[in-house]
Structures are given as C-alpha cells and as structure tokens.
Copies of this chain bind each other. A is one copy, B any other.
Amino acid sequence: MAGLRDRQKADREKRILSAAVTLFKARGYHAVRLEDLADRADVSVGTVYNYYRTKGDILIATVALEVEEVLGMGRRLVADPPHGVAEALLALIYSYYDHSLEYLSKEMWRSAMALSIDAPETPNGLRYSALDRKLAAQVTDLIVRLQARGEVRPEIDPAAIGQLVFNNLNMMFLEFVKDDAMTLAQLRAAVADQTRPLARLIATEQS
C-alpha cells in the first residue's frame, strides 16, 4: 500500500506545513519568501507548488488546523452549555477567541481573512468560508439548544439570531487582529457589551 513514494510524499507535505507554521509565526507571512520556506523544508520552490497551489494556500492550511480545533471545543460546549443565555453565548465566543492566537499571529489571521475575501472562488477561499459557515452554524446550534431548554423565547428564529451573533463576533475579531495594540481582554469586553443586551432581549422573562 504505502510504498516509498507515498511515504516520501506525506513526509514532504508535513515538512512544508511545519516549516510554514514556524516561519510564518516567527517572521510574518509576508516577510517569508517561498525560497525560505522551500529551503527550510529541504525541497525546491517548484516542489512546494506540487503540494500547495499558492503561498496563500499554505497559510489557509495552517489556519484551518486552528479552526478545526476550535470547532471541536465549541461542539463540546454546545453539548452542555452553561446556564443563562448571555453566559452560554459568551462562553462559546470566548472559547473561540482565547485559542485564536495559540498557533497563529494576528498578521497571519489578517492575511488569511484578506485572502479568503479577495479570492473567494479559489480552494483557499472556499475552505476558509466553509469553516466560517461551520462556526456560524455552531452559534445557531447553541441557540437552538437554549431554546429547547426554555431559556430562549420560542418565537425567536435561531438561524437569524445565530448569524447576527456570529457576524458580530467575527467582525469584532477582525477589528482585534487589525489592531496590534488591542488586547484579548478588550475584545472580550467589547463583544460582551454587544452580546449581553441582545441576550437579555431574546431570553425568556425570569431574569
């Protein structure tokens, strides 16, 4: 099955991705030239293009690793969310935010987001958009769950409000990565200010 060729292939791809994670985070996505990446992965520039379509493709691949992990955490949280609408929503949002800079720098996020906007039809852009959609769906899932529990009013449309909340948290994350001086604490505070009143409005009266 896995002959020499397949092993070498897998090995090379791993080396390239690993070189990318290291170099992008250390020197910044833009500052890393493809030649640097190729050298560190012990392949030629041409070979890099055999595994990834563009430089941006490599970045998206590293970002995707991170987002997949975040989605996993979110799933666990949605399965058994904290009580209280604001508490549950913010717990999910914070779990997204808190892990966002673990493997990626702000500059990497910026470049990845820009890429997905500028070239939405490429494999890059499609993959990133798909992940975004999954995150939005997770917020909706959480609202559905809270509704089932009787904490959110039954007349609320979970998809519409879920998208609203996601769009807001995503935009605020964008502000965060655009501003190198902004801290995670500030991001959390800003989003809480926007999410809490909304949570109060969609919660069943009892508070």
Q: Which residues of chain A have a CB within 8 Å of any CB of chain B?
A: 110-111, 113-115, 117-118, 120, 125, 129, 156-157, 160-161, 163-164, 167-168, 170-172, 174, 178-179, 193-194, 197-198, 201-202
Contact of A167 among B125, B157, B160, B167 (CB under 8 A): B167
4 A-B pairs with the lowest CB-CB distances in the bound complex, closest first: A114-B118, A167-B171, A201-B201, A114-B114
Please name all residues of chain B whose beta carbon is closer than 8 Å to the beta carbon of A163 when the two chains form the complex.
168, 194
Q: How far is the CB of A122 from chain B (nearest CB, A)?
A: 12
Please name all residues of chain B whose beta carbon is closer than 8 Å to the beta carbon of A115 when the two chains form the complex.
114
Please name all residues of chain B whose beta carbon is closer than 8 Å to the beta carbon of A167 when the two chains form the complex.
167-168, 170-172, 194
Is the CB–CB distance between A117 and B178 below 8 Å?
Answer: yes
Please name all residues of chain B whose beta carbon is closer than 8 Å to the beta carbon of A171 when the two chains form the complex.
167-168, 170-171
**Complex Cα gap A40–B172 (Å):** 40
**Complex Cα gap A23–B118 (Å):** 18
**Complex Cα gap A160–B111 (Å):** 28
Inter-chain pairs besides A160-B193, A167-B172, A170-B171, 15 sampled, C-beta below 8 Å: A113-B114, A113-B117, A114-B117, A125-B178, A129-B178, A156-B197, A160-B197, A161-B194, A164-B194, A167-B167, A167-B170, A168-B168, A168-B171, A198-B198, A201-B202
